[in-house]
Structure 1
Amino acid sequence: MAGRLLSMRALPLRVSFQKASMSDMRSIIGNREIVGFGYNGQPNYADRPDFPLPAIRWKESTADIQALREKEKGDWRKLSLEEKKALYRASFCQTFSEMKAPTGEWKSVIGCALMLMSLGFWGYYFMKTFVYGPLPESFKEENRSAQLRRIIDLQVNPIQGLGSKWDYEKDEWKK
């Protein structure tokens, strides 16, 4: 039921986006050229190594870029290296090596994780010092051994429990 309601709610959004005219898209993307289907069929740009063909070009068309586009239709050996780079940068924001370059984000992630761990330790210390009382008397070693001796003397659960491991005749643990 919930899935059906959700799909019915999303239906007008999909229909309205599909019916959107090219002028509506131009108001969003500007003067950039649409060159393909893209990642999800929408006219958007994303630098992604796993999907290297965005739907639109990175920069808007200018007179300089239009002149270079006309020149590239001819022999590419006549283009200089700077012109080839300008054409590439007009279509793409980053190269593959720039996309895959390490960002150093791991440092902030480790720092945040260590700060959260520190906050947890300080919270534990605060709770142990100011909130929790002392441990009960039954946690002391002599009280625990006296309680164990009382369990053995009363022969509590002598078949499968702790009493089954005690030799009552020799008054020691079974070997």
Structure 2
Amino acid sequence: MLAWVRATERIALGKRTARDIANLAESGIDDAMARRIHAAYADGGGSKVDGSRLPNTDAWKDRNAAKAFEAALQREVNIAVITPGLEKPLWMSSPVMSMLGQFKAFIAAANERMLITNLQRSDWNTLQGLFAAITLGMLSYRLYTLVSGQKASERPQD
């Protein structure tokens, strides 16, 4: 959400970037609506609390801007909150198998919604997150082998 507020501010000030336009367009917000959202936020509809920007869309006078902002926020929440749906493997569709694999369904949904979706964005933050996850996984494996007294595997895939 903070990125949207900053992006709408840059668009309103004429300092927009291609990334700002693309990110807002993914949520159905064009330049004109971004200017309206920024104006509604700046016109007393938003506030800062301990450095965090809060939109307070109930106080916005421009109801269409508030609805567009809330719809974009809802889209991001639906992407971020993992709820298994069509991402589940087909074998989890029967009642018995879905009960046995209910926790695997969340892993499959997370893989589809977070990993694959973010890798398709191909931006620097996604690449940093991927490298951090791989590095922390390697570090946790090595620390586990040291603490447990086991010999570390020589195979890179381990």
TM-score (normalizing by structure 2): 0.27
TM-score (normalizing by structure 1): 0.25
Higher helix share: 2
Please tell me whether Structure 1 or Structure 2 has the larger radius of gyration of its CA atoms: 1
